[in-house]
Amino acid sequence: MSHEDINKIIELYKKVSALQIEAYWETIIFSYQWWILVLGSIILWGVWIRLVDRRHLHIIILVGFMTSMLAILLDDFGLSLVLWIYPYMLTPLTGRLNVVDLAIIPVVYMLLYQYAKRWKTYLINLFLLCLFAGFVAEPVFEKLNLYITLKWEHWYSIPIYFMIGIFVKVSADKLDRHVRTQSNGVDRSAKK
């Protein structure tokens, strides 16, 4: 890539950033959409704090971290390919809908992991959650103008949400077993 191409890209980024910041301060902040994002984040994390099983906090937080990182990665991928956009955001610092990536997705998957211990229960609930997300939540976000699909259909999200859930459960269960095995081994050797 030539310096001229890089300079064009930099100028475009500057223009997009300036437009985003201007729109944020003129129309986004304190709009009803902005309040939905603020209150949604507070309420979701408040529910999580009340419901989380503190005995298994380490593994539940790991589930939240993994789902959040995957959501951010996939969101950035979709935004880069201009598959969707978010007209309203909580802060002007990103084009990503951080409320979804940092609140909705991690909280929902953490609670699912906490309450659906067995694989059969987990898969059934995960499938229902994915259907709800793809056919109810995303269209509602679109009606509220929080999310605009460009080259994306809501049902495309369903297998992605499902695969995130499978990956996270396999990873978290494996790590949790490993940690318990290690701590049981340490406990036994300490007693000798």
Residue 173: what residue type?
D
Q: CA torsion sign, 143 to 148 to 154 to 160?
A: negative
Could you tell me if residue 11 is inside a domain?
A: no
Question: Which of 160, 168, 177 lies closest to 62, judged by CA?
Answer: 168
Note the pLDDT tens digit of each residue in 48-97.
999 999 999 999 999 999 999 999 999 999 999 999 999 999 998 888 89
Could you tell me if residue 147 is inside a domain?
A: yes
Share above pLDDT 70 across residues of the chain, in percent, rounded to a whole number: 96
Could you tell me if residue 116 is inside a domain?
A: yes
Q: How far apart are CA 115 and CA 95, in angstroms?
A: 33
Output the pTM of the full model. Answer: 0.90
Confidence of residue 41 (pLDDT cuts 50, 70, 90): very high
Question: Which of 110, 28, 32, 26 lies closest to 66, judged by CA?
Answer: 110
Number of independent structural domains in the chain: 1
Residue-level pLDDT at 184: 77
